[in-house]
Amino acid sequence: MLNSHRPLAPHLTVYKLPLTAVLSISHRITGVLLIVGLFVFLALIVALASGEVVFLTVQAFLNQWPMQIMLAGFVFALSFHLVHGLRHLLWDLGFGFEATRLHAYALWEVWLTLVVSVVAIVLI
C-alpha cells in the first residue's frame, strides 16, 4: 500500500486560502482567545477588589512590558472580533455579498481593525 502510485491528497500548507477564509478562521480563534482573556480579566477584578495591597501588587504586575503586550493583543483581538462581527451583521442584512467586492471588503475590515486597535491602545 505504501508503494501505491495514486496521487496523495495535499496537506493544508499547499493551499492558498483566500483572505475571507483566513478572516473567518481568525474570527473563531479570536473568539476563543477573548473568552480566555475575559477569565483573566475577571480574576484581576476579583484581585483588585481584595484590598489596597493586592491592588498595588496587581497594578505593578500589569505595568510590566509583557503584560502591556498581552493587553495590546487582547485589544487587537477584541477589535478584530468586533469589526468582523459587524461584517456578519451587514451580511445578515443582505449587504456585502457581491463576489467581485468580497476581497475589497475584507481588506477594509483589516484596515478598520488596525485603526480601531491603535485608537483603543492609545486611549488606554
Q: What is the DSSP string of 22-62?
A: HHHHHHHHHHHHHHHHHHHHHHHHHHHTT-HHHHHHHHHHH
pLDDT band at 10 (very low <50, low <70, confident <90, very high): confident
Give pTM, 2 decimals: 0.81
Query: pLDDT of 28-66, one tens digit each?
Result: 999 999 999 999 889 889 988 899 999 889 889 889 999
Instruction: Kindly indicate whether the domain formed by 18-123 is annotated with CATH number 3.90.1150.10.
Output: no
| H or E, element range at 108 | helix 102-123
Cell 483603543 maps to which residue?
120
Mean predicted lDDT score pLDDT of the chain = 90
Which of 48, 116, 58, 37 minimizes the C-alpha distance to 83? 116
Q: Looking at residue 6, what is its pLDDT?
A: 72
Indicate whether 19 pLDDT > 90: yes
Find out whether 96 and 87 touch, Cβ atoms under 8 Å: yes
pLDDT at residue 3 in the model: 65
Q: What would the mean pLDDT of 84-104 be, rounded to a whole number?
A: 90
**According to the model, what pLDDT value does residue 76 have?**
97
Q: Is the pLDDT of residue 2 over 70?
A: no
